[in-house]
Amino acid sequence: METLILIIVLAVFFFVAVVAGTGWLLLVRPRRLRRGQPPAEVVSPPEAPAEPELRTQRPEAAESAQAVITPTAPPRVPAQPPAPEIEKPPPSAGRLVRLRDRLSRSQSSVGSVLLGLLSRDRLDDDTWDEIEEVLITADVGVVPARQIVDDLRTKVKVLGVRGVDEVRALLRTELITQIGEDMDRTVHTDRREGLPAVVLMVGVNGTGKTTTAGKLARALVGDGKTVLLGAADTFRAAAADQLQTWGERVGARTVRADRDEADPASVAFDAVREGTELKVDVVLVDTAGRLHTKTGLMDELGKVKRVIERRAPVEEVLLVLDATTGQNGLRQARVFAEVVDITGIVLTKLDGTAKGGIVIAVQRELGVPVKLVGLGEGPDDLAPFDPATFVDAILAA
Ligand code: GDP
C-alpha cells in the first residue's frame, strides 16, 4: 500500500514537472526568437542630433522622439542661399576705346553734318550760321559754339583748307581744344596718410548716380583697389539694396542705415570709420539727390561732407549728370556747385543722346573736368573720359 502511494506521488510529481517545464519553454521560446530586437518597453530613440540648438529650437520634436521612433528626422540646418560669386571686373584703362562704337552710334550724326557743311565749295555766312546751329543743337552752348565757328572760320581762311581730310583734321583739333586736353581727369583714389580716399557721389535722383557708384566700385576693384560703399541715400529705400548688390558682386562691403530715413551724415560717417578700420583704399559714398528744396539739399550735403571730413579728407566730389537732360542738367549742375565743391563730372547716358556737346558746356559752366562717362546699363559701361577718343568717335562717319 505504501509503495502504491509512493508510486502515485512520484507519478504526480513527474507529471507536474513535465507540464511546468513545457510551459516555461513555451513562455521563453518567443522571447528567444525575437532576440536582437530591443524589447518594446525599452525602445530607445534614434541617435540624438548633434546640434544642441536644434533641440532648443524644437523641444517638442525632441520629446516626441523619446516615445515614437520616426523614420525621417527633420533637416538639421535650414537651406542657405548660395554665396554670390565674386566677379573679376576688367581694369578701367582703354574702356572708352572699347565703347567707342556706342559713342559713334550716338554722336556721329553731328560729326557727319559738320563735316558735310565744312566741305562745301563755298563757305558763306549762311553755311557758318548753319554750323553754329548744329553745334548749339548738340548742346555745346551758345558761347562755345560761336567761339568754335570763329576759330574755324579764321583757320580755313588763313590756311586755305579745302579737302575733307584737311577739314576733318581742323575740326578735330578745334573740338579737342574746346574740350581741353590738359585738364586733370584722374579720379583721385589713393590713400593718404594712412586714410582711405573718400569719393562722394552727388546728383539728382534718376541721373544714374547709384548705378554709377556701383560701376565705379567695380572699375576700382578692376584696377586693384579695395573699396567700401556707403549707402547715404537713405531717402530711397531701394538705393541701399541696389548699391549693396553692386558691392556684393565684386566683394565690396556696404555700410547702410538700419532704418529708413536715417541721418545720411551718420551713415557716411560710419562708412568712413569702417573703411579706415578695414584699411580700404577707397570709401565711395552715395548720397540722396532731392532738389525739392535747395536749402534742404544744401544743409544735407554740406553736413555729410563736414562730418566725413572729421575722419578723412574727401578726395573727390563727383557730380552725376544725365547727358540727355540738356539745359536742365546744366541748371542742376549750378545748384550743386553752390552747395559743394565739385571736383569732377560724370556724364551718364551718353549712349542715348546725340547731345554730346554737353561735355563742353558743363565744363565751361562749372570749371571742372568731365572725368567719367556712362555709355550703357551694363556693369562695365563706365569709362574714364578722354577728349581725343571722344572727338574721334564724333568724327567717325
Ligand atoms: P539714381 O536715382 O540717380 O541713383 O539713378 P539709378 O542709378 O537708379 O539709374 C537710373 C536709370 O538710369 C537706371 O535704369 C540705370 O540703368 C540707367 N542708367 C544709368 N547710367 C546709364 C548709362 O550710362 N546709360 C544708360 N543707357 N542708362 C543708364
Q: What percent of the chain has pLDDT over 90?
A: 64
Question: Using one digit for the tens of pLDDT, what is the confidence trace for 238-276?
Answer: 999 999 999 999 999 999 998 877 899 999 999 999 999
Asked if residue 206 has its Cβ within 6 Å of ligand 1, the reply is: yes
* CA 49 from centroid of its chain's CA atoms: 41
Question: Is residue 51 over pLDDT 50?
Answer: no
Question: Using one digit for the tens of pLDDT, what is the confidence trace for 375-394?
Answer: 999 999 999 999 999 999 99
Q: For the chain, how far is it from start to end, CA to CA, in angstroms?
A: 145
Which cell numbers in the block locate residue 174? 578745334
Asked if residue 349 has its Cβ within 6 Å of ligand 1, the reply is: yes
Q: What DSSP element (H or E) covers 107?
A: helix 100-118
Asked if residue 190 has its Cβ within 6 Å of ligand 1, the reply is: no
Question: Is residue 355 over pLDDT 90?
Answer: yes
Which cell numbers in the block locate residue 360? 563742353
Asked if residue 168 has its Cβ within 6 Å of ligand 1, the reply is: no
Kindly give the number of the ligand 1 atom that is closest to the alpha carbon of 211: 7
If you take atom 19 of ligand 1, which residue's CA is the nearest one?
Answer: 208
Ligand 1 centroid to residue 182 C-alpha, Å: 29
Burial of residue 20, with CB atoms counted within 10 A of its CB: 0-12 exposed, 13-18 middle, 19 or more buried: exposed
Name the band, by pLDDT with cuts 50, 70 and 90, for residue 74.
Answer: low
Name the band, by pLDDT with cuts 50, 70 and 90, for residue 237.
Answer: confident
**256 phi and psi angles, rounded to 5 deg:** -140, 165
| pLDDT value, residue 134 | 96
The larger pLDDT score, comparing residue 290 to residue 100, is at: 100
- In the chain, where does DSSP find H-type helix? 2-33, 52-57, 59-67, 95-98, 100-118, 125-137, 142-159, 164-179, 209-222, 237-249, 264-277, 294-309, 326-339, 358-366, 387-394
Kindly give the number of the ligand 1 atom that is closest to the alpha carbon of 213: 7
Asked if residue 214 has its Cβ within 6 Å of ligand 1, the reply is: no
| pLDDT value, residue 76 | 63
Question: Is residue 183 over pLDDT 50?
Answer: yes
Q: In what order do the strands lie in the sheet with 227-232?
A: 253-256, 227-232, 282-287, 197-202, 314-322, 344-348, 370-374, 382-384
Question: Is residue 3 over pLDDT 70?
Answer: no
Ligand 1 centroid to residue 208 C-alpha, Å: 3
Range of lowest pLDDT (7-11, 24-28, 144-148, 345-349):
24-28
Question: Is residue 78 over pLDDT 80?
Answer: no
CA distance 355 to 351: 10
| pLDDT value, residue 295 | 73
CA distance 4 to 352: 129
Name residue 284's beta-bridge partners.
199, 229
